[in-house]
Amino acid sequence: MEFKAKLINIREARWFSNLTTTIIIIYSSILGLKTMMEVDGNLIIIMHIMDYFVTIYFLIEIAIKMAAEEKTSDFFKSGWNIFDFVIVIITLIPLENTTMAAVARLLRIFRVLRLITARPGLKRIIDMLMGAIPSIVDIVILMFIIFYIYAILGNFLFAGVESGLWENFLIAMLTLFRILTFEDWTDVMYEGMEVHPWSWIYFVSFVIIAAFVFFNLFIAVIIGEMEKLRDEDDTEHEEEMEKLDTILAKMDELKEEIAELKSKS
């Protein structure tokens, strides 16, 4: 039990999380530097040493987390633990000396994803985004409807322009996406105004609806999810405080009973 308690302390320790984060950042930096400089014998040796070190460290980390659980099966009850386990197992697949060596090199990149689970703050952000997915999907569907209407209308109005930006429905959708990103969208508008001088209404209304309104809807959904998580944290904190107050009240009662017993004796 003392050994398990030590493992739990290591798993929950901030230095352990910071160590994992530091190792992942250093390893990611080496992968990035590899693309910026000429690969020679020394760099290859360093990469192999770093690969072995990171692999061994991740195995030890997973082993500590699994051993710290009351039951090994409890480790797999958390989606984040399963994510970590899968990443580690994938990078253990022996593909380096096979025809799939390129795949093995690509699999190393997935180790960078461990940075998400190494930082509690990043996990909260991902959890927040996952919780916002249903609302985001509804917004995307509504956005697609707006795109669809404007693409059909744009093809009808500007199909004859020389640039061919409205040649058919699919190209019109891509053109609208270009306008949404504000990539030279005024050039597209002026070209349309050469055909229909009043067509600025079409472009300006699309920018207002798609760019301003929908982007603000995305922000509102994310902020709402953040507030929901904060409220859940506040509720958990209040429940813990209530439990603590209950324990303190019972301790006071026990003290009074002990004092009464002493006075009677």
- Site of tokens 């917004």: 139
- pLDDT for the residue 91: 72
Assess whether pLDDT exceeds 60 at residue 101: no
Q: What is the pLDDT of residues 12-71, one digit of tens each?
A: 788 888 888 888 888 777 777 766 666 666 667 777 787 788 888 888 888 888 888 878
What pLDDT score does 234 carry? Answer: 66
CATH 3.30.365.10: does it fit domain 124-257? no
Nearest Cα neighbor of 63 from 120, 3, 152, 136 is: 3
Residue scoring higher pLDDT (69 or 110): 69
Q: Does pTM top 0.75 for this prediction?
A: no
Domain boundaries, the chain: 2-118, 124-257
**Contact between residue 188 and residue 175 where contact means Cβ atoms under 8 Å apart:** yes
Distance (Å, whole) CA 14 – CA 81: 18
pLDDT computed for residue 183 by the predictor = 84
Coil, helix or strand for 120?
helix
211 to 100, 122, 203, 257, 259: CA distances (angstroms): 44, 27, 11, 69, 71
Contact 29/21 with Cβ under 8 angstroms? no
CA 139 from centre of chain: 19
pLDDT at 104 over 60: no
For residue 264 the two structure tokens come to 């009677």
Strand, helix or coil at 100? coil
pLDDT digits (tens, 9 = 90+) for 197-252: 998 999 999 999 988 888 888 888 888 887 877 776 667 667 677 777 777 777 77
pLDDT surpassing 60 at residue 102: no
Q: pLDDT tens digit string along 144-200? A: 999 999 999 999 889 888 888 998 889 999 999 999 888 888 899 998 898 889 989
Residue 96 clears pLDDT 70, i.e. is over it: no
Task: Give the fold, CATH level 3, of 2-118.
Answer: Four Helix Bundle (Hemerythrin (Met), subunit A) (1.20.120)
